[in-house]
Structure 1
Amino acid sequence: MAIDLVLRRDWLARAPRGDYTQLDSTQGVKVHYTGGLVSPGIVDDHGECVALVRSIQGYHMDGNGWIDIGYSYVSCPHRKVFEGRGLYHLPAANGPGLNAGHYAVLGLVGNAGLVQPPDRMLHGILDAVEYLRDHGRAGKEIKGHRDGYATDCPGEPLYAWVRRGAPRPGGGTPEPSAPPFPGRLLTYPPVTRGQDVRTWQGRMRERGFELAVDGAYGPESRGVCVRFQREQGVADDGIVGPVTWRLAWEAPAG
């Protein structure tokens, strides 16, 4: 399964209060938890996940005085991954002197309420790790926040999973049903060209759309994208991003 990214604009993130410090590469990723009460209700209501991520950003900016949320990415129980500071930006959550060594990925569990990370959250953390390796030059390490810093984070259940080697739930890595997202948005105008465009166009032809498979994302491709997005109930912006790309393969055929 390709990463299911919730972009900053989609969770209504506040703009950072300054410029991020560039981060060219890392040894890997450190895993975090909230350290507070997390309502078990977020498991059944993704809207609560959005509200929680926004509240964490607010606390980090207004309470800690940071320029933004401290994490690179955040995983919720619905296997959605919220964009925090993102690729190549120094996180703030790992601790003084430790942020340049690892990206920071938060699992939305706490020390009360929702404590045990659901399988889909673990998958989301690993989706974020793989995304950071593929696109952000992250190394192979997966560690807990407490590794090298005096803290209980990421909590006993999540840290035990990290100590076991952070395995995929279910005994292995599931075969993705969609090819990996190409790492760039397919947009028009201007015309976007490439093999990734051809791959998406071919898939949309398989789904029954009349579309030339020519590797050029122009007005015809954008029109098909808008119709498909409306069918799926997602933002009809005519841009093939991670969610629209994934749905092209994984959404049930009409």
Structure 2
Amino acid sequence: MDLVTRAEWRARSPRGHLSPLPSARGTKLHYVGSFVSPDLAKSCSRCLDTVQGIQAYHQGTNRWTDIAYNLLVCPHGRVFEGRGARILSAANGPGLNQGHYAICALLGDRGLIQPTAAMLRGIHDAFAYLRERGAGREVRGHRDGYSTTCPGPVLYRWLQAGMPLADDTTPIPRTPSPPRWPGRYLQYRHGQPMQRGQDVTAWQRRLAQLRYTIAADGIYGATSAATTRVLQRAKGLSVDGVVGPKTWAAAW
């Protein structure tokens, strides 16, 4: 694991006493949740600045003792020491910090929203690091037990899928031009029959090639629509979860 200690990222001292937590049932995954610049993936020096900014916000605006998370993971797969192991976090919500430690992925709900393969491996490393130091085997998202969208749809689906890893050296498959739009709008409407077919399968496979966490089952349901909205947001399209000609072309 590529651990960046508090001294290495020049963390401020805690504003007071940090409560110990020798063991917990498991660990919950978070994301930053606001805008994160895509430039973060270009240089890890930007990651250091981002972690410093999170600590300054938590200690300043929130008036917390220290940065809320035990560990943070950047797009380059480096694991930043927050409060560290065996310390009570301040991230999971009132009354929930005793049960789980907290890991934050440096992803936002806008800008940088898609985890890299290196980040996913870093998250695996962070979970393992805390398990070796008192965390149980439970793996949860912040939204489990607390009213929030954190850690976002992409990371949460990845957790639900069992945290699969991809080879960082495998390029994202691309074609010089998109295949022809199949001619029908793919959309999900609650309470109505779900669309099925080869066009749905083709769309899901393309999303999977782009490293979105989705199964190519040929059924356009709630997960397909949510994943489509993530892609639309990333591409600057109207975010409605409907695959029309513009959204179809944008995936290629």
| TM-score scaled by length of structure 2 | 0.65
| 2:107 partner SS | coil
Query: Structure 1 segments of 4 or more deviating over 6 A?
Result: none
Map 1:1-254 onto structure 2 (within 5 A): 3-134=1-132, 136-170=133-167
Amino acid at match of 2:32: T
Task: Answer with 73-82 or 159-168: which moved more.
Answer: 159-168
One-letter code aligned to 1:58: A
Deviations 1:123-175 (A, max 9, x none): 111101001111x111111110000000010000011101112223349xxxx
CA distance in 2, matches of 1:110, 1:170: 23
Write the distance in 2 (CA, Å) between the matches of 1:51 and 1:41. 12
Amino acid at match of 2:161: R
Question: 5+ residue gaps in structure 1?
Answer: 172-254
- Conserved 8 A contact 1:28-1:138: yes
Aligned length, in residue pairs = 168
User: Which residue identity lines up with residue 37 of structure 1 in the other structure?
Assistant: F
Task: Please report how far the alpha carbon of residue 105 of structure 1 lies from its aligned counterpart in structure 2 after TM superposition.
Answer: 0.2
Q: Secondary structure at the match of 1:143?
A: strand
Q: Give how far 1:22 is off.
A: 1.0
SS in 2 for 1:124: helix
Tell me the secondary structure at the aligned position of residue 128 of structure 1.
helix
Query: Which whole-Å CA distance do the structure 1 matches of 2:98 and 2:165 have between them?
Result: 26
Does the CA contact (< 8 Å) of 1:40 and 1:113 recur in 2? yes
SS of residue matched to 1:14: coil
Letter of the 1:34 counterpart: V
Q: Given residue 123 of structure 1, which amino acid in structure 2 is its aligned partner?
A: R
The 2-side partners of 1:44 and 1:152 are apart by 27
Query: Amino acid of the residue matched to residue 124 of structure 1?
Result: G
Distance 2:53 2:22 in 1: 29
Q: Kindly provide the amino acid, as one letter, of the partner of residue 12 in structure 1.
A: R
Greater RCO, CA 8 A, separation 6+: 1
Kindly indicate whether the alpha-carbon contact (under 8 Å) linking 1:8 and 1:82 is maintained by their aligned counterparts in 2: yes
- 8 Å contact kept, 1:142–1:166: no
**SS of 1:127's equivalent?**
helix
Q: Deviations over 1:45-64 (max 9, x none)?
A: 11110000000001111011
**3-state SS of 2:60 partner:** helix
Q: Could you list the per-position Cα deviations for residues 75-106 of structure 1 after superposition, in whole angstroms to 9, with x for gaps in the alignment?
A: 00111000000011000001000001111000
- Tell me the amino acid that sits aligned with residue 150 of structure 2: C
CA distance in 1: counterparts of 2:14 and 2:160, whole angstroms = 33
**AA of the residue aligned to 1:101:** G
CA–CA distance in 2 between the matches of 1:72 and 1:59? 16
* Percent identical residues: 51
Could you say what the CA RMSD is over the residues aligned between the two structures, in angstroms?
Answer: 1.2
Q: For residue 210 of structure 2, what is the aligned residue in structure 1?
A: none
Which amino acid counterpart does residue 89 of structure 1 have in structure 2?
I
Q: Tell me the SS of whatever aligns to 1:47.
A: helix
Gaps of at least 5 residues in structure 2 are 169-252
